[in-house]
Amino acid sequence: MDQAIVHVVPKRTQNEEPLPLQLSQTFCRLDEDVRYELQGKLRDVFARLGREVVEDPELKSPLPDAVRAFLSNGEDLVQVSGELAHALRGSQTGSNSAGLLLVAAARLDGQRALLMVKLEHETGMQTNEIVADGLRTFAMQYLDDLLLTQKSKVYKVALFSEEGLAEPGLQGWAADPQTSGKEVARFFLEKFLGCRHQNDPRELTRRFHDTAMSWVNSRSIDADVRMSYVMAVMVELQSSTPELDPTEFIQTHLQELHQADLAAFLAENDVPIRVFEKNTELISNRLQKMRVDLSNGAFLVTPLEAVQDGTVLVQKLGDGRTTVTVTSNVTKTISGAAAGRSPKPPAQRPELPSQTEILPGFESICAAPAQAKRAQNGHELPPAQT
């Protein structure tokens, strides 16, 4: 951060004359300790929660043009920051609290950048050691103007650099610690920044799922290992964690000899290796059951829990063939195989390597879409079907 300026943005009230903005006329005085702490905190926020954003012209926010004016035309920071303060107040509703807007001229990888932080005052107590009547004690002071404390969560951050000007639409980063890793608050992202998420979390999650499944079935991997990898993908996507870290997933669930290969395969198919927000909306019906296809035409559709508890067991025979054992009660037998129809391929199925080797007797494993309708007699799907 090179220079910074702060403006006070009052709370917007309904049916009342809005309070005037309190605009600074010059830059803040940043000593080195303040600069160091502020830079460190914001670096950490972007590293953990930063989301790539891109300008959406349909949102008609004045911010992208203001950012371009500063980064390209060298417009004065005081002037630009005042315009952004007006834009922030215009984007907020009565539910948004009053706060401060910090705007800073910064550098990112040696390129000029513009940083914006929307934050709120916080309160706290401070103690100072004193001597009273020759005895040591502490004086306590109430502070009502604290900013960015160690536990601050009520602030939102955006960063745009010269590199983001090269694209058709302005590109940058936004982070919102208040949402614990989820999407940036809509008023800040859309109304103020005039941006949208560059990569839809739903699409990224679907792409990770489909690419990981394609990798499993395009590599010569032992059947039991392949089964464990498919299970790991399904369990990871069903977990309650709001984010997905492909690098951590690979290191945790894959054997070392397979780790680099999957990482490269994900990258080749435009799946980011960095952390991204997880949203299974597009694939939720494929995370409940697993399908196993065998080379003799037989197949198995089973709930994931049946594989986890061992009632469906896959074992190598040592000659390239595989035994699939199902231990359960037979509840129904029917003709045909409607419940086991091959799942529809994804809309954008990743291209598989040309040198594909399928294990003899064990053709593929994949997540099976849930059935759209139940049988007319209302019976539940048994734990496994063969």
Helix (H, G, I), strand (E, B) or coil at 232: helix
pTM here is: 0.55
pLDDT for 136-191, tens place per residue?
Answer: 766 665 444 545 555 555 578 999 999 998 777 899 999 887 764 445 677 888 88
Which residues make Cβ contacts (< 8 Å) with residue 309, sequence separation at least 6? none
User: Which residue stretches of 217-371 are H helix?
Assistant: 223-238, 246-253, 256-268, 304-308
Taking the C-alpha atoms of residue 216 and residue 343, their distance in angstroms, rounded to an integer, is 16
Q: What is the pLDDT of residue 63?
A: 93
Q: Give CA separation, 93 vs 13, 64, 120, 267, in Å.
A: 8, 21, 16, 41
More confident residue, 254 or 96: 254
C-alpha dihedral (159, 162, 168, 171), degrees to nearest 10: -20
Half-sphere exposure of 374 (CA within 13 A, CB side): 7
Which residues make Cβ contacts (< 8 Å) with residue 190, sequence separation at least 6? 56, 59, 61, 196
What are the structure tokens assigned to 62, written together?
């004045």
pLDDT band at residue 79 using 50, 70 and 90 as cut-offs? very high
Taking the C-alpha atoms of residue 191 and residue 186, their distance in angstroms, rounded to an integer, is 7
More confident residue, 299 or 358: 299
**354 pLDDT higher than 60:** no
Taking the C-alpha atoms of residue 165 and residue 170, their distance in angstroms, rounded to an integer, is 5
Q: Pick from 279, 210, 211, 273: which is nearest to 241 by CA? A: 279
Q: What is the pLDDT of residue 15?
A: 67
Which residues make Cβ contacts (< 8 Å) with residue 177, sequence separation at least 6? 45, 49, 152, 153, 155, 156
Name the strand (E) or helix (H) holding 40. Answer: helix 32-49
More confident residue, 65 or 341: 65
pLDDT for 302-328, tens place per residue?
Answer: 887 888 888 888 777 777 788 888 898
β-pair type (122-132, 135-146): antiparallel
